[in-house]
Amino acid sequence: MRYFTVLSTLVLFLFGCGDNENKSTTPKKPEEKPQVFEIEKGGEVDPIASSDAKKGGTYVSWGSSFPKSLNYYLDPNSLSNEVTGLMFEGLVTLHSTKNEPVGNLAQSWSVSDDGMEFSFKIHPKAKWSDGKDITANDIQFYYDVIMNPKNLTSVFRVGLKRFERPEVVSPKQIKIRAKSIHWKNFWEAAGLMAFPKHVWEGKDFNKINFDFPVVSGPYEVGETKKGRSLKLKRRKNWWGQVKKYNQYKYNFDTIQYRFIEDRVKALELFKKGDLDAYAIYTSKIWMKQTHFDSVKNGWVVRQKIYNKEPLGYQGLAINMRRPLYQDIRVRKALCYLLDRKVLNDKYMYNQYFLLNSYYPDLYLNNKNPNAELFEYNPEKARSLLKEAGWLVGDDGILTKEGNKLKVNFLTYSSDQRHLNFYCESLKSVGIQTNINLLSASSVKKRLDQHDFDMFWSAWGASRLRDPESSWHSSTADQKASFNYPGFKSKKVDELIEKQKTEMSLDKRNQILKEIDLELTKEIPYVLLWQSGFHRMLYWNKFGTPKTVFDKFNREDSAVAYWWVDENKKVLLEKAKKNNESLPKLSESVHYSE
C-alpha cells in the first residue's frame, strides 16, 4: 500500500461510466507459475499483520459507483487509489504504526548533507509481472508521465514540480534533487512510483484506464465488467514476497468489487451474502437497518472501530470563482441557514460532531476554540443578505440588480434528504434552489471544469498533512484540482510557504492551525459534521488483526491484513445450515499500542 492517504473518502468520489457493462475490458493472460521465495533476513514484520494469516479465498467488497478509471493518477478516488496501490509500487512506504519510512521498491536510500538530494537503490529482486527488472528508468518514466502537461495529472504535479528530473545513476539506482527546501521533500521523493516504461512508453497515458497487462504489486486486474464488477487476482510471482515486512499480508487469492450506487441496495446484497463486508457511512442505516437476524445470531459481526486515523472534513464546497459567492456575507448567510443540529438529530441520531475546523483532530474535542460554530440563525442570514444588497421582491425571491438569487447543488447521490432539508431553509428566506442529479462521471467532469455552485464533498486527512494542493492560490484555477472552491488568500499562501520549510511536525501543525483560522474566517465551505469512529459489518468467517483495521486507515486495510479463517468459515456454514447462533464478537474495538 502506498505511503499516503488519499484526500478523498466517504461521499467524495467513486465516479462511474456505465457503457459496455457486459464486456470484459481485460484480455486473458497466461497463468503465472508459482515460485518459491526465500524471505530476506533482517527488518521486521508489519506489527499489524497476524502470523495466523493464511493465503487463499475470496474477499467481496462493495465498490459503490463504477469508476471513470482504475488509474488513480487520472481519476483520484478512493477505489482507484486502492486498486492502483495494489498493482503498482513506490520506492518507500510509511510504517503502519510509526511515522517512519519502510523500504518498498527501494532497498536503501540516502540524503545529501544539504538535505536537497535523495538517492535510492532499487531492490535487486524487484521485477515486473512479465519478468523484466524494475529499473531506475521506470522511476524516471513515472516523473516524466506525471509532469507531462498533456496528461491529466495536475494534482500530482504540485509536489513533483519542486524537483529536477530524476537522474538514472545505474539500472538499479536513481537520485533526484529538490529545487527548494521543503519538509515533505523526502516523502515526495520516496513516493516516486515505478511505471512500466517498456510497456507504456509512446502510449497516451490519458487512455490507460482499465487495461494493465504488466504490474509490479501483489495483485493484477482480472475480469472487469463495466458498471457491474471488478476482480483482482493475487500474483503468485509477486517479487515483494521476499520482504519480511510483507509477510502475512495480501492473503486473498481474489478481491472482488461489486458496484451498485444505492447504499441501501448494497446493504441488501450484503445481507444475502453477496458481499463479505460492508462499511456504513450513513447513521440511519447503522441505527435502523443493521440489527437483522444474522447480526443477532452472530453470523455477521457488527462493530464500531476506533483507531488513530487522521480526521478530515466534509462540507458543501462554495464555488468562489463565481461573483455571487465572492461576497463573504452571502457565504456566511449560507452557513447560518443550515440547521446542522436538527439534521444530526433527525437523520443521524446524534452520532456526529459538528465541524468548525478543517483540521479537527488538531484540537481538544475536535473543536477550534477560535472559530465560529455557525449555529442556525435565519435572522442573521437575512440581515447579511440585505446588507449585501439582496432584497425580497414581490414574488418573495431575493433580487439584486434584476438578478434572482439561486443556488444550484451538484450531486450524484440519490439520497437527497439533507439537501432537500437545506433547500427548504434557503427558500424560506427567498433563495431559489435546484438540485442537479447527474451521473458520477458527469459530476466529475463538471467539477474538473469548475462548473457548479455548491457540491457536497468529504475529505480524508493524510498522516503527512500538506495544505498546498487544497488551499494554495496557484491551484484555484487549475482544472481537476483539489481546490474545489477556487480559494485564494495571500495570507494562507504565506503560511503554506512558511510550513514548507518547517521540519518539526509540532510546529507544522501549529501553522496548520493558523491556516485553519483563516479558512474558517473566509468560509470556502459550509462545513458539516464528522464521525470519530468507523462502522463495519462483516461475515464471521474472517481472521483479522486484533484491532480489525490498522492504526491509521479504515476498511480498505482489510485487503492487506484480513484472511479467510477456514475454521470460522466451517462454523458459519454449519450455523447457517442448522439455524444456530455463534458467539458474538465485541461490538467495539479500540486501537492500542
pTM (2 d.p.): 0.76
- Which of the pair, 413 or 54, is modelled with greater confidence? 54
How crowded is residue 291: how many other Cβ atoms within 10 Å of its Cβ? 10
Dihedral (CA of 82, 87, 88, 90) sign: positive
Q: What mean pLDDT do residues 229-233 have? A: 96
- Order of strands across the sheet with 525-527? 432-437, 406-411, 454-459, 313-318, 525-527
Render the burial of 17-53: b for 16+ CB within 10 Å, e for the rest.
beeeeeeeebeeeeeeeeeebeeeeeeebbebbbeeb
Q: Say if 266 falls within a structural domain.
A: yes
Q: In this predicted structure, what is the pLDDT of residue 41?
A: 80
Q: Which DSSP string corresponds to 154-182?
A: HHHHHHHTTBPPPEEEETTEEEEEBSS--
Rounded to 5 degrees, φ, ψ at 122 are -80, 140
How crowded is residue 204: how many other Cβ atoms within 10 Å of its Cβ? 9
Same domain, 157 and 194: yes
On the question of pLDDT at 2 being above 90, the answer is no
pLDDT band at 43 (very low <50, low <70, confident <90, very high): confident
Give the integer Cα–Cα distance in Å for 575 and 565: 15
User: Who's near 272: CB < 8 A, 6+ residues apart?
Assistant: none
pLDDT band at 34 (very low <50, low <70, confident <90, very high): low
Q: Say if 327 falls within a structural domain.
A: yes
Same domain, 195 and 290: no
Same domain, 522 and 539: no
Same domain, 305 and 161: no
Q: Say if 237 falls within a structural domain.
A: no
CATH number at residue 355: 3.10.105.10
For 454-464, the pLDDT digits (tens) are: 999 999 888 88
Same domain, 451 and 538: no
Cell 482544472 found at? 479
- Which of the pair, 328 or 36, is modelled with greater confidence? 328
Q: In this predicted structure, what is the pLDDT of residue 14?
A: 28
Same domain, 471 and 559: no
For 330-343, the pLDDT digits (tens) are: 999 999 999 999 99
CB 551, CB 94: distance < 8 Å: no
Same domain, 299 and 340: no
CB 343, CB 337: distance < 8 Å: no
Same domain, 288 and 202: no
Same domain, 433 and 503: yes
Give the integer Cα–Cα distance in Å for 264 and 271: 11
Q: Say if 240 falls within a structural domain.
A: no
For 5-23, the pLDDT digits (tens) are: 333 332 332 222 333 333 3
Give the integer Cα–Cα distance in Å for 411 and 437: 5
Q: Look at strands 300-306 and 403-404 and give their pairing.
A: unpaired
CB 251, CB 236: distance < 8 Å: no
> Domain range for residue 135?
89-214
Same domain, 440 and 510: yes
Least-confidence region, from 45-49, 375-379, 552-556: 552-556
CATH number at residue 200: 3.90.76.10
Q: In this predicted structure, what is the pLDDT of residue 31?
A: 52
Q: Please state the domain count of the chain.
A: 3
Same domain, 323 and 447: yes
For 157-184, the pLDDT digits (tens) are: 988 999 999 999 999 999 999 998 889 8
Q: Say if 424 falls within a structural domain.
A: yes
For 233-246, the pLDDT digits (tens) are: 999 999 999 999 99
Give the integer Cα–Cα distance in Å for 493 and 476: 12
Give the integer Cα–Cα distance in Å for 529 and 545: 29
Same domain, 582 and 516: no
User: Who's near 432: CB < 8 A, 6+ residues apart?
Assistant: 397, 404, 405, 406, 407
